[in-house]
Structure 1
Amino acid sequence: MAGTLLAPPSGIPLERLVQMAVDRGYTAQGEMFSVANMGKLAQEALGCQAELLCGGLGGPNRDRVLRHLVSGHPLLIPYDEDFNHEPCQRKGYKAHWAVSTGVLLGTQAVPGLGYSEDPELPGLFHPVPSTARQPPSLPEEGSPGAVYLLSKQGKSWHYQLWDYDQVRDSNLQLTDFSPSRAADGRAYVVPAGGVRAGLCGQALLLSPKDSSC
């Protein structure tokens, strides 16, 4: 997912990524219950920087995440996946990974120079590539419906717009290992401290090695 933004156009084959993770002891079945290990894998496989974000996606981390996305860099997020791939809250029983590659911001003012209005959707503005522009003003935390992440779960064919607060809340409640997985007789790699220590309130900010973001 994120590899298409950070690696050559051909990307990195999924089979190669899984085999690398198995060889390094990060996974047994393709699962990944450690954000730290996912960061190590991303750095090795994609040759990128991977900043581990702790403490959730809210509070002081919110602006950091949004500015990272506005800069054009991807975010990797563990979350509980609902039947339609959107975030839900299942205590970590449905823990999966998603990549966010963009953000939709609801603002009070029309953006300044460096943005163009969509020809088909009045009121929707896009940054103009290779044009100097001021970063958009970020909506205040708690503003309903003001921030959406352009996100994709690994098994989905399509990107979706997810409410930022729903993603934040799903990420913050990843605490328990699924009982059905625990009883299926298969081996899994779970870090010391369990799902809570490995995933809860954590995410990865990925960027090219030569980026200052």
Structure 2
Amino acid sequence: MCTIPPAPPPPPPAPFCPEVQSPSKSPSNPKPDTSTSKLKYLDVCEWATNRPELWEACAKHDVCHYQAPFYYKYTEFPSILQVGPTCGLVALSMIINNEVTPEEMLNIAKMEGYTNNGEMFSCKNMIELTKKVFNLAEINVRFSLQCGGLFSKMTIERLLNGAALLVPYDADFNHSPCLKRGHKAHWALVCGIIIVNDPGENFDDIDNVYVLCKHGKSRYLAAWKLYDLEMSNKNLFEFSPQREGDGLMYILPEGGVGGENGLQDQFLMFEGF
């Protein structure tokens, strides 16, 4: 006679993670997507199963698969796909929940002489555009231009307190940070941070700090090492020779992409959401 074995005991609860709560509302369906393409990830990142977008990013990018991070902060922003070379405008629109659309920003940026096609090769121009967009949308968020210090204790602590960043970098074929001397310049929105292990008094371990990012060429959240993003940001030396021959007219800042009016080793910080 067949007997049915007793059901296995329930799995232990997910480890506690001292996350600072983001201002965004939690999704109505807290369970991760169980579509066939994602089933192989379902046994990892149990600590993030109540945040599907975060869970998927960490599962795919091999971050904290089997133990909760020491600390993390993640603020949800909408995903917006870019049309043409409008990655910076799209990233800025994400920050304000699309209250001013990339198309509207493009019209403003053209009138101000910052761009022809949507390209933004100057962080200083991006700051000026932000002022106009925030005034239009009546957004009350502090913002500033930062020169250097992307991978620094100051920046990390501000991210842990809920800051967001707009960071220009070189995008590889999978849109992750790479070193192409600025030839693949792209903009990313940094909307979260993960500290894998206890950092002690400093944050000097380059393998211990990840940032959660969105950009205009994907609907999905990404998780990259902050150090890799900083190295890519510092590597923006010159305008792409390939773009010079694509038939479009681009507006470049005085001194070029790698000058003080360009992108190299600069980023925008937003605080007070």
1:149 aligns with 2:211: yes
Instruction: Read off the aligned partner of 1:184 and give its amino acid letter.
Output: D
Which has the higher relative contact order, 1 or 2, with Cα contacts under 8 A spaced 6 or more apart? 1
Corresponding residue for residue 195 of structure 1 = 257
Corresponding residue for residue 66 of structure 1 = 156
Distance in 2, matches of 1:99 and 1:2, equals: 8
Quote the offset at 1:156 in angstroms. 1.3
Determine which of 113, 120, 123 is the counterpart of 1:25. Answer: 113
Distance in 2, matches of 1:26 and 1:206, equals: 21
Quote the offset at 1:147 in angstroms. 0.2
Distance in 2, matches of 1:177 and 1:87, equals: 17
Corresponding residue for residue 54 of structure 1 = 147
Determine which of 133, 140, 154 is the counterpart of 2:203. Answer: 140
1:95 aligns with 2:158: no
1:104 aligns with 2:202: no
Matches within 5 A, 1:119-130: none
Instruction: Read off the aligned partner of 2:171 and give its amino acid letter.
Output: E
Structure 2 residue matching 1:199: 3-state secondary structure: coil
- Structure 1 segments of 4+ aligned residues over 3 angstroms from their partners: 1-5
Quote the offset at 1:66 in angstroms. 1.2
Corresponding residue for residue 123 of structure 1 = none
Structure 1 residue matching 2:219: 3-state secondary structure: coil
Structure 2 residue matching 1:12: 3-state secondary structure: coil
* CA contact 1:39–1:52 (8 Å) conserved in 2: yes
CA RMSD of aligned residues (A): 1.9
Quote the offset at 1:140 in angstroms. 2.6
Structure 1 residue matching 2:99: 3-state secondary structure: coil
Q: 1:69 to 1:138 in 2, by over 3 A?
A: farther
* CA contact 2:206–2:226 (8 Å) conserved in 1: no
1:171 aligns with 2:233: yes
Corresponding residue for residue 121 of structure 1 = none
Q: 1:183 to 1:56 in 2, by over 3 A?
A: farther
- TM, length-normalised to structure 2: 0.60
Q: Cα deviations across residues 86-108 of structure 1 (Å, max 9, x unaligned)? A: 10110000001000011000233
Gaps of 5+ in 2: 1-90
Gaps of 5+ in 1: 110-136
- TM, length-normalised to structure 1: 0.76
Q: 1:163 to 1:80 in 2, by over 3 A?
A: same
Distance in 2, matches of 1:33 and 1:147, equals: 27
Instruction: Read off the aligned partner of 1:53 and give its amino acid letter.
Output: Q
